[in-house]
Amino acid sequence: MVREAGFMNEDQDAGESMKSPEKEPIQTEWVVITGGPSSGKTSVINRLKELGYKTVPEAAEELIEEERAKGKKTEDIRVSEEEFTKLVFYKKLEKETRLSAGSLTFLDRGLPDTIAYGQADKYDISYALNDPRLNVNKYKKVFLLDLVPFEQTEIRIEDKAFAERVDQELSDAYKSLGYDVVRVPALPGATLKEKVDTRTQFLLQSLQLTS
């Protein structure tokens, strides 16, 4: 178990203790950029940050890097993927509670991503589905980046088939919560720079942030 590996579930405990009565949905200026593993979303997030926009990094990678900085190995941190998915959900909740609803912010994944990953891996995600905060803060827009050629890393340990499954589950999860999901093409054949530049401009134009 994750707890046995020394990966404390403080975010989970904190998240559970912070639960509050159901509230009226709040329309935010938060824009979700999501996608399966190897979709290139983090590159787009980084480009938006370079352009001066407020961004929030992916909770899963942030959680892993925090633990690796303490000397832990990725395989120990993710020894239980089901528990890790739960920890990431509460990490995302914690991060979103610190954001201003009226401030344009680009998020590297949103809360419904937990539902998608849970469905793809057939995990128990009742904690997410039943959490009243799941759909309290309404995202301004949801962009789903199509998959690019797959690449595994120490942090991204999923395979291509899983990535494709997650891609579909992401679309289903956001649509089930009432969001219109905007697909962002993968641009096969383009260089990495061309892909990042073109996809970033696509997002900004969709949001009417460029002339």
Please give the residue range of the domain that contains residue 103.
10-206
Tell me whether residue 66 is in a domain: yes
The CATH number given to whatever domain includes residue 31 is: 3.40.50.300
| Structural domain count, the chain | 1
pLDDT in tens, 178-211: 999 999 999 988 999 999 999 999 999 999 997 5
Inform me whether the pLDDT recorded for 13 exceeds 90: no
pLDDT in tens, 129-151: 999 999 899 999 999 999 987 65
Cα 121 from Cα 82, distance rounded (Å): 8
Tell me whether residue 73 is in a domain: yes
